[in-house]
A and B are shown apart, each in its own frame.
Chain A
Amino acid sequence: AQSVTQLGSHVSVSEGALVLLRCNYSSSVPPYLFWYVQYPNQGLQLLLKYTSAATLVKGINGFEAEFKKSETSFHLTKPSAHMSDAAEYFCAVSEGIGGSYIPTFGRGTSLIVHP
């Protein structure tokens, strides 16, 4: 069984500060891991994904995430926050068992960026 925990329903940073959004997962097999961003009243947009190639994954808008198997973590980071980064962020895990790729999503973290 797979599950995702996102620590902190809200994260608040100042513009220009480091962004760190935490995601821990559990999976019985090597997982696929994803980060999505959602702006108000819109669908989800893929930021980046881990599929067992490089452990450090670079995504769009300057975000990156590092897969750490020993810690079962896939935290999302960005060196310098912009006002436009304010949104809801979702971490997801997918095991791909039996050809079925049904991801499990975390509850989301709302990123608030202060001027």
Chain B
Amino acid sequence: DGGITQSPKYLFRKEGQNVTLSCEQNLNHDAMYWYRQDPGQGLRLIYYSQIVNDFQKGDIAEGYSVSREKKESFPLTVTSAQKNPTAFYLCASSITIQGENEQYFGPGTRLTVT
């Protein structure tokens, strides 16, 4: 089955530690995205990548970093510079066909930093 996998489902870290969230897709989609979700705030875009070896900052990129070395993979690192890292993180991918585009989402990773 094609889809997007995020691991782990739950992640706990101590303050001051960097942590990397995994996102893998086997949909052959060119574009991938990372969102952060907090209660009552909807989804906020952290980073996105439209092609391998290229990525762009979203609305809340500070304290985060990404890489896109392979089409299938788009890992997100939450650095110690991120002031409020505890949140639900969602990865998505998309493809555009004849001008139509829709996103497919992974199951999410809930990060708790104490």
Contact = CB atoms under 8 A, between A and B. Distances in A.
A41 B101 contact: no
Interface stretch (A57-65, A70-78, A105-113): A105-113
A106 B50 CA distance: 23
Interface stretch (B37-45, B64-72, B73-81): B37-45
6 contacts: A36-B105, A41-B108, A43-B108, A46-B103, A96-B96, A108-B42
Given A41-B108, A43-B108, A102-B45, A96 B103 contact: no
Interface string B70-114: 000000000000000000101010101001111111111010000
A87 to B, nearest CB: 14
Contacts of B48: 102
Nearest to A6: B42
Interface residues of B, number: 29
Nearest to B48: A102
B110 A45 contact: no
Interface of A: 9, 32, 34, 36, 41-46, 49, 51, 90, 94, 96, 99-103, 105-108
Contacts of A90: 42-43
- The secondary-structure label for the interface of chain B is strand
What are the nearest 3 A-B pairs in CB distance? A43-B105, A101-B101, A107-B42
Nearest to A49: B102
A44 B43 CA distance: 10
B100 A32 contact: yes
Contacts of A42: 107-108
Contacts of A34: 102
A101 B90 contact: no
A14 B30 CA distance: 42
A100 B55 CA distance: 12
B68 to A, nearest CB: 16
